[in-house]
Structure 1
Amino acid sequence: MAAAADLPDGLVLDGELVVWAGEGMSFEALQQRAAAGHLSAPILAQELPAHLIVFDVPQVGGQEVLQAPYAERRARLEQLFTDHDLHAPWALCPETEDPERAQEWLTSWTRVPGVEGLIIRGTEQRYLRGARALYKVRRRDSTEAIIGGITWDAGPAADAHPGPLRRHRPAARGRAQHAAAPDRRAGAGRAPAVGGAGARVGGRALHGVVGGRGHRWTWSWSSRV
C-alpha cells in the first residue's frame, strides 16, 4: 500500500501481483502474503516482497480509456513509468512486435518457475471488461487429474463377503504401492489411515460399486492448453 504513494490520482492499472522467491515466482508465497494478519503482514512484506507486473491502464487522470486502442494505452503506460520514475515494486511488462525476439522470450524466460509463456494482443484492440480477449501461448501444455483408488483384502468368498479395506500405501505416479511388492518411487500422495471397524464397513460399502456401473465417485479432468 505504501508504494501507491508513487502513483498519481485517478489512475487504474491492470496487472498481475507476484512474489519472487528464490529463483522464480512463488504462488505459495503469494498466498501466504494474502492470508497474513495485521501482525505478520509487515514481517512478510520484508521477507517476501510483492511486485505488480503492469500490462495495461484502463483509466488515467480519472478518465476511462477503455475505448482507446491498445497502442495508445501502451504509450500512456510507458509515459507514466517514465514521468514518475516507477521502479520496484512496480514493473512494466516487456513488449515486442518482433517475432524472433518473442520466440527467444518464449524459449528462455519460461525456464523461470512461474513464467508460463507469452500474451498476444492486437494494437487496435479495445479494453474489453470481463472478456478473455487475449491469446496466451504457453511453452508447455499440461493436464491435471485427481486419481483415487480403493483396495481391500478379498478371501475365497469375497463376492458375498468382501473383506476390510487393505492398509494403504502412498500412491506413486498413478500406481499403488502394495506391501507385497514395494518399489522405490516417491509417493505422490496418501489418504488418512483406515482400520478396524471403519475398514470393514468401508469394504462392504464400496465392494461391487467402485469401477463398475453406478460408480459413486465423480471424475473430472482439467486440461490447460
Structure 2
Amino acid sequence: MDAFPDDARPGQVPEWLEPWTDVSGVESSLVKPLHGRYLPGCRGWAKFRSWDTTVTIVGAITGTLNRLQLLVFGRRHDPGGRLRAVGRTVPLRPDAARHVAEHLTAAVPRHP
C-alpha cells in the first residue's frame, strides 16, 4: 500500500481503510508516520478499528452455567431454521462470566 499523504487527517482514515479491510479476521489497522519508530510508552501511532454489527443469539457456551468460560454466538441462516455458529467471545473473566450467567437459562430439548 502507498504511504498516507503528509497532509492526511485522522477523519480520512475510514474512507481509505474501508475498501481493503473488509476481510474476515481483520479487526483494525495501525497508522504511523512513514519513518516513525515504535517507542514503548510513547504515543504517535494510531489504531483504527473497523466495526461490523449483526444480531445473534447465544447458541452455546463452554463450561457450565455455574462456571461459564466463553459464549458461542449463532444466527439462523437457512430456511430450516438451523442455527449456525458465527463467532465467539474470548475466555470470560470470572466477574463477567457471573454477570452473563445471570441472564442465561439451560437449553430446552428442542434447542437448535
Quick check: which has more Rg, 1 or 2?
Answer: 1
Q: TM-score, with normalisation over the residues of structure 1? A: 0.21
Q: Name the one with the larger helix percent.
A: 1
TM-score, normalised by the number of residues in structure 2 = 0.35
